[in-house]
Amino acid sequence: MKTRIFPLMLFMLVASCSQQASETEKPHLQNRLPLVAKAYMELPVGAVKPEGWLLQQLQLMKEGMTGHLDEWYPSVVGERNGWLGGDGDGWERGVYWLDGLVPLAWQLEDDALKAKAMPWIEWALGSQTEEGYFGPVPFETPPETEPGLQKGMREDWWPKMVMLKVLQQYHEATSDERVIELMLNYFRYQLNELPKTPLDHWTFWANRRGGDNLMVVYWLYNQTGETFLLELADLLHQQTFPWTRIFLNEECNQVPDLDHLYPYNTGNRYPFDEDLISRLCVEQLQSFHCVNFAQGIKEPMIRYQQDPDPIYLEAVTKALADMTRFHGQPQGMYGGDEPMHGNDPTQGIELCSVVELMYSLEKMIAISGNVEFMDHLERIAYNALPTQVSDDFSSRQYFQQANQVMLTRHRHNFYEEDHHGHTDLCYGLLTGYPCCTCNLHQGWPKLVSHLWYASAGGGLAAIVYGPCNVTATVAGGTEVSIREETSYPFEERIRFHVTTAQDVEFPLHLRIPGWCESPALSINGSEIGFKVSDGMMILDRTWQNGDLVELELPMEVKLNRWVENSVSVERGPLVYSLRIREEWSEVENSDKYGNFSEVRPLDPWNYGLLEAAILDPGQGFEVVRNTNGSGSYPWTLDDAPLALHTRGKLIPDWKLHREMAGPLPHSLPLKHLMENEPDEIILIPYGCSTLRITEFPVVR
């Protein structure tokens, strides 16, 4: 572990020492001293524009939930919302929606979406008091409870953290200086108030998610240089859940499910009992709330910028490794149907966890430059994210599963099975719990913003691959555009078209994924030699208008082992799942979960993969491109651009349990089916599936 961290530390400390001398040469926002220099600098919202299937994805968001949530969910994100000055919902859901709506509006340059966002922005900017508080004003008299509304907790620090992220993105897109003034006043208010009313005063959510607050404080410090912000950062870190200590704990014992000892909407504070803290760690079942983990994992690395102790980097690296080992699933996520819940492939994965872990990785990449984080981000984005929202972006699942064979309103083996009306797996607007209805929107737009970063030396870095166009200033202040032409992750070739008004020298960083063993590169049609260092290829040369860089990332079929010695099948960044035809049925429903869709299989699902294919995946799986699809939106059963053809055998005694795939048979491999004839089966990308088997038993 340390051999991976220390070279990075050396780079960052050297960069920090030279930071003041080169400050004026850097067109993008680098950390001010005494903060440690970032490995990569994030580009402002709107610098990266989606193209190809990514553009279509964002347009579907505009036409679906993201563009119409105020119409489809008016009771919460309508004019009564507290963030519009109303008497209705005044906690997290309205600002959750904005956290995706704002980047989407400015990436698409869509006036209609901007018009939906601006009343919220203007109200927030105009809400600040003389003391510095901003946001919904607490009621003088507690309001009457209304089902489905979070009217209370208006003083809570947590929803302010979400709006701070919204305002930061808005400032990046517009340079509206009112944002800077509001944040300075609010952070002075926090510095004065937090000693009296700490992060966990009203609810424990702000305590767990204080890293989000800390992150914006550092951003504002880089904008202004106001030193009181570093004092506030110390205080925020002290009051935030001690993620670093817990991630590094190797002698934990089973303890009560602390996050769920307290009702969500009360002011009960977390007891910072040293004995309990010392016994917590990632491997425990129900140790953390799944979304708190997704957000909290970045806090040690955010803090590292001010306190460059390698223990913070080590803690995050260990936490990700432990998460994968004890709770992980092939699509890069983890069993967490509210609390952490192990690695069985039928354990639920909350949609909020998906988008929040993506965002944490995007922030951690900037600070660390760790290519493993880049690979992990891409795995989640191109597998877990597209499957959990309907193809037309009109509904979503609260939980998804790696082995997901029937989506019905039924009692499942989830921690919160009695709290969500058994609707967790069904596609709907409000099924399960409505936080995800509002929070899902940040996933795709923020991924687009983080496809590219600025690099040291005035360069640019392609971190996650996808069709897009980036425009940014490079060394010497020259503006450059690079159009990334590709169908990645469904294609191995990526073409970078350079547009510049004058010849300009700058380094171009290209990520070489950990799964790629033999990349190839050409510039203007000529193959060139290259070196890969710490997972990055750096092309430092003088670039001319019209230059074309072509990167080839050959994808091979590879396998991973999971629960009960089961196997997942991967090729490049994509995980593959059994193709199962679907029967959708609409359910009219009058309770708080609203109407929803159930999905049942039209094909057998209980297949095992042949041992012969597992032993020789190059021969056992045939890559087949879809020539019969419509060629439009790729994340569907019928239009999946790629498939793997192989053979498998039905396992008759592998049956449904609670309308889920039953416990996996242990793979030795299974020998009791040796006399049975295998069937031809088809695997498609996980993100294209609704029903699927992803962790397969192995049969002989």
Tell me: pLDDT of 279 over 90: no
* Full-model pTM: 0.94
Among residues 354, 342, 353, the alpha carbon closest in space to that of 384 is found at 354
How far is 570 from 685, CA to CA, in rounded Å? Answer: 9
Question: What are the backbone angles phi and psi of residue 512, rounded to the nearest 5°?
Answer: -110, 110
- Angle (CA) 428-104-592 rounded to 5° is 20
Residue 96 to residues 335, 624, 638: CA-CA distances in angstroms? Answer: 23, 40, 32
pLDDT digits (tens, 9 = 90+) for 319-336: 999 999 999 999 999 999
Q: Which long-range contacts (CB under 8 A, 24 or more apart) does 112-121 make?
A: 112/67, 113/62, 113/66, 113/67, 116/67, 116/70, 117/170, 119/84, 120/83, 120/84, 120/94, 120/95, 120/166, 121/166, 121/167, 121/170
| pLDDT score of 261 | 42
| Identity at 235, one-letter amino acid code | L
How far is 165 from 613, CA to CA, in rounded Å? Answer: 48
Q: Which residue's entry shows tokens 């700490």?
A: 198
pLDDT digits (tens, 9 = 90+) for 242-259: 999 999 988 787 665 555
Secondary structure (DSSP) of 443-511? HHHHHHHTSEEEETTTEEEE-S--SEEEEEE-GGG-EEEEEEE--TTS-SEEEEEEEESS-EEEEEEEE
Q: Which H/E stretch holds residue 364?
A: helix 351-368
467, two tokens: 């069709």
Instruction: Report the CATH architecture of 452-552.
Output: Sandwich (2.60)
Tell me: pLDDT of 628 over 90: no
| pLDDT score of 258 | 53
How does strand 468-473 pair with strand 642-650? unpaired
How far is 184 from 531, CA to CA, in rounded Å? Answer: 45
Tell me: pLDDT of 604 over 50: yes
| pLDDT score of 16 | 40
Tell me the mean pLDDT in the region 536-542.
96
How far is 382 from 607, CA to CA, in rounded Å? Answer: 24
Tell me the mean pLDDT in the region 627-643.
88
Tell me: pLDDT of 5 over 90: no
Using CA atoms of 389, 391, 394, 395 in order, give the dihedral in degrees to the nearest 10.
Answer: -30
How does strand 532-533 pair with strand 567-571? unpaired
How far is 373 from 316, CA to CA, in rounded Å? Answer: 10
| pLDDT score of 670 | 81
Tell me: pLDDT of 416 over 70: no
Tell me the mean pLDDT in the region 502-528.
97
Question: What are the backbone angles phi and psi of residue 625, rounded to the nearest 5°?
Answer: -90, 145
pLDDT digits (tens, 9 = 90+) for 87-146: 999 999 999 999 999 999 999 999 999 999 999 999 999 999 999 999 999 998 988 899
Tell me the mean pLDDT in the region 380-389.
98
Tell me the mean pLDDT in the region 423-432.
97
357, two tokens: 């872990």
Tell me the mean pLDDT in the region 480-508.
97
Name which of 175-184, 365-374, 406-415 the model is least confident about.
406-415
Residue 511 in contact with residue 530, Cβ under 8 Å? no
Kindly report the average pLDDT of the chain as a whole number. Answer: 92
Please report which residue ranges of 547-696 form alpha helices under DSSP H: 611-615, 617-620
5, two tokens: 């961290």
Tell me the mean pLDDT in the region 76-93.
96
Question: What b/e sequence results for 38-63 when a residue is b if at least 16 CB atoms lie within 10 Å of its CB, and e otherwise?
Answer: bbbbbbbbbbbbbbbbbbbbbbbbbe
Tell me the mean pLDDT in the region 505-526.
97
Among residues 296, 326, 447, 461, the alpha carbon closest in space to that of 377 is found at 447
| pLDDT score of 361 | 98
